[in-house]
Amino acid sequence: MDKHFDQYWQAVLNRDSNRDGQFFYGVLTTGVYCRPSCAARTPLRKNVRFYASQEAARENGLRPCKRCQPDANIDARHNLMHEICRYIEKHYQQRLTLALLAEQAGMSPSHFQRSFKAVVGMSPKKYQDGCRIRMFKDSLKSHLKPEGNITQAMHSSGYESSSRLYEKIDTHMGMTPGTYRRGGADELISYASAETVLGPVMIGATDRGICFLQFDDADDRLLAQLNLEYPKASFQPMPIETQPQFDQWIAQLNEFLEGKARVLDLPMDIRGTAFQCMVWDYLVSIPSGTLQSYTEVANGIGKPKAVRAVASACANNKIAITIPCHRVIRGDGSLAGYKWGLARKRSLIDLERRVLVDD
């Protein structure tokens, strides 16, 4: 974060409330951390450190400022943004403008847009698109045989035309509606394996993105797992013409695992139930270096009683790291289970925290 230090310091000098939640600053002489808009006396620059999250500040031995109460205010903002999420889920078929949603939140449109994206990890429009796609998936699965089901599902999900729907298909579904309805049958998945600091990894991909990224200690077990995850699909070793793309994915993965990149941004072809996709979408919004309990995730998706179902969705994740189920732990702070071994989970958590502190 050093390239942003000058901007952060200027925000502190200006007590810029628009930057609240984007970063925190700690004062080493008093041992507290604050929001940028804190009204306390401005500290000396040499005594200030900047942090991307409250967790990073606390790990450095700092406590929340009693004057600006950074934790309480951020929690309130999180609660408000999640209320807006529930509003979008209830009215997803309607035209929800940024101005309308900002009015619901009692904010200016620009402030609301920044706050929503900071908390949820995506724009309000993208969140509404996700709600529509999930409903579309549910509608497809509930009508397996009659002709015209795709059209019926399209209209019930709030899409006025097939062109608008198909604009969203590749991003949110990774396959055509007909293929999804058939359970992914006849899909061709190419695969290849490589070495990483966490051991052997195998990547499986369709022409729309990665649908399988998993670790093990043996290639044959990884291939068996790929077949188990997609029993109706066909498989082939990664073709020579797509090998450069695979090499690029592995290079990005290794850069992340070596702490050289804070975010692992790979194209995904996500396959799962509506509930699983809801959980996985939420996991992607959890900031790097931050941990949440299964209960917090259940609350975050608006399903507070679905704690076990959340744990099951994490266990059924097919794309390690990019869908960061390693950021979910038990409420008592223990790591709980991890599909690819607790040692890998601990390594990933420690890695992200080191990178956060170094930034």
H/E segment holding residue 202 = strand 199-206
What are the C-alpha distances in Å from 290 to residues 7, 11, 225? 23, 24, 29
Closest-CA residue to 1 (of 17, 23, 20): 23
Closest-CA residue to 36 (of 52, 19, 48): 19
What is the chain's pLDDT, residue by residue, as a tens digit (359 residues)? 455 678 889 889 988 877 777 789 999 999 999 989 888 888 999 999 998 878 788 888 899 988 888 876 665 777 788 788 889 888 877 888 999 999 998 888 887 887 787 666 578 887 887 777 666 555 554 544 444 444 444 444 444 444 444 444 444 444 444 454 454 556 889 999 999 999 999 999 988 889 999 999 888 899 999 988 888 889 999 999 888 999 999 999 999 998 888 778 888 888 787 788 889 988 988 888 889 999 999 988 888 888 999 999 999 999 999 999 999 998 888 888 899 999 999 999 998 888 766 55
The residue annotated as part of the active site, out of 34, 65, 85, 211, is: 34
**Is 325 in the active site?**
yes
Residue type, 120: V
Q: Classify 188-257 by CATH class.
A: alpha beta
- Eight-class DSSP state of 18: G
Within the chain, where are the H helices?
Answer: 5-14, 54-59, 70-90, 98-105, 109-120, 124-142, 149-156, 162-172, 177-181, 219-229, 243-257, 274-285, 294-300, 307-315, 342-358
Predicted local confidence at residue 251, as pLDDT: 92
The residue annotated as part of the active site, out of 38, 131, 314, 325, is: 325
Q: Where are the domains of the chain?
A: 2-68, 126-181, 188-257, 274-358
pTM: 0.54
H/E segment holding residue 48 = strand 48-51
**Is 34 in the active site?**
yes
Euclidean distance between CA atoms 221 and 229, whole angstroms: 12
Q: Classify 2-68 by CATH class.
A: alpha beta
The CATH number of 274-358 is 1.10.10.10
Euclidean distance between CA atoms 84 and 127, whole angstroms: 10
Closest-CA residue to 279 (of 246, 312, 319, 248): 312
